[in-house]
Amino acid sequence: MSADTLIWFGTLGVPARRRHELSPKAWTCLGLLAIPLWATWPALALRALQVPAFECLTIAFVAGWLVLRRLETAPPLRAGSGSWLPALACALGLTGSNAFHILATHYIPAAEANLLSYLWPVESIGIGALLRVFRLEARHLCGLALGIAGAFALMAHGGLALSLTGIALALASGLSWALYCVFRLVRNDSPARLLQRACLISALLCLALHAALESTVVPDLGALASSAAIGIVPLALGNLAWDRGFRRGDSRLLTVMAYATPLCSALLLVALGLESLTLALGIGAALIVLAGWLSRAKT
């Protein structure tokens, strides 16, 4: 399995037995569906802001787990098969990236938080190089520089309201997923139903953190539906579509196209009237997308 595959998705699960043969082009189209599905995350998170972060994620991961139970039809994991460590690592990556993102939106605009969190490909390249998982090439250095420039572009003219807390949380969101991706570079086995198990572990972890750190809020119907939709749309359907399409379609095309996710999410927020389209946002989006594209691993 290529390093590109591992950095991008971590191979979350083994595909079910094929019932119908589809062409690589059809699988690529399925993988492309992940991009608009992922792009809904910031808008849904804004609608669910009244719900405490870990309570919201508990609802989301339970919803995602229920959906994946219906969709993932691979053989179940066996006790003692060694599959629980990758599932736990995936759960920590999912929980950290999503929790830090929700918390960041309490301090900075959702579009900017999403763009900063999408520095994770650049972060994964830097961490992998420090751990000598692979060599740092000139294009990676360019990606790191452009990623930092994109972050500063967002902060220009008060683009991030100078909230160091919000900036740190958004960067931590990306770092959580970057650390998981590097873990998958080191350990590249592909246990069945990994994403499903990771969602279940994440739900339990978020429930424990909610009980320890937050007060329970009874959400209105809209916030409850948005919290559940986070688990169903970007977490379950988005990741599942990406996994299937990436491993059976054109992985190079999907790798490049997936970096359009933060830009699509920002445009969706603008279209919904939840964000304003500013020059700083446009420049930051372009630089961060370009940074990610330059930092992708070779297939």
- Where b means 16+ CB within 10 Å and e means fewer, 235-268 reads bbbbbbbbbbbbbbbbbeebbebbbbbbbbbbbb
Residue 9 maps to a domain: no
- Environment class of residue 169 by beta-carbon count within 10 Å: exposed (0-12), middle (13-18) or buried (19+)? buried
Residue 98 maps to a domain: yes
pLDDT of residue 182: 83
Residues 41-77: tens digit of each pLDDT: 888 988 898 899 999 999 999 999 999 988 876 555 4
CA dist., res. 161 & res. 148, Å (int): 17
Cα 226–chain centre separation: 17
Residues 256-282: tens digit of each pLDDT: 677 778 778 878 888 888 877 777 778
* Rg, Å, the chain Cα set: 18
pLDDT of residue 56: 94
Output the six-digit token pair for 202.
């994440």
Residue 251 maps to a domain: yes
Would residue 193 be called left, alpha or beta, if left means φ above 0 and alpha means ψ between -120 and 50 degrees? left
Residue 121 maps to a domain: yes
For residue 80, CA distances in Å to 62, 183, 195, 248, 288 come to 24, 20, 18, 29, 41
Output the six-digit token pair for 46.
């804004």
Residue 54 maps to a domain: yes
For residue 128, CA distances in Å to 131, 247, 251 come to 5, 22, 21
Contacts of 6 (CB under 8 A, 6+ apart): 181, 184, 185, 188, 297
Residues 134-168: tens digit of each pLDDT: 777 787 778 778 877 877 776 664 555 568 898 89
pLDDT of residue 282: 80
pLDDT confidence of 188, banded at 50, 70, 90? low
Supply the range of the domain harboring residue 183.
24-295
Residue 11 maps to a domain: no
pTM of the model: 0.78
Output the six-digit token pair for 90.
């995936």
Residue 119 maps to a domain: yes
pLDDT cut 70: percent of the chain above it: 81
Cα 191–chain centre separation: 20
pLDDT > 80? residue 287: yes
Q: Annotate the chain with three-state secondary structure.
A: CCHHHHHHCCCCCCCCCCCCCCCHHHHHHHHHCHHHHHHCHHHHHHHCCCCCHHHHHHHHHHHHHHHHHHHCCCCCCCCCCCCHHHHHHHHHHHHHHHHHHHHHCCCCCHHHHHHHHCCHHHHHHHHHHHCCCCCCCHHHHHHHHHHHHHHHHHHHHHCCCCCHHHHHHHHHHHHHHHHHHHHHHHCCCCCCCHHHHHHHHHHHHHHHHHHHHCCCCCCCHHHHHHHHHHHHHHHHHHHHHHHHHHHHCCHHHHHHHHCCHHHHHHHHHHHCCCCCCCHHHHHHHHHHHHHHHHHCCCC
Residue 124 maps to a domain: yes
pLDDT > 70? residue 252: no
Give the amino acid at 242.
W
Domain count, the chain: 1
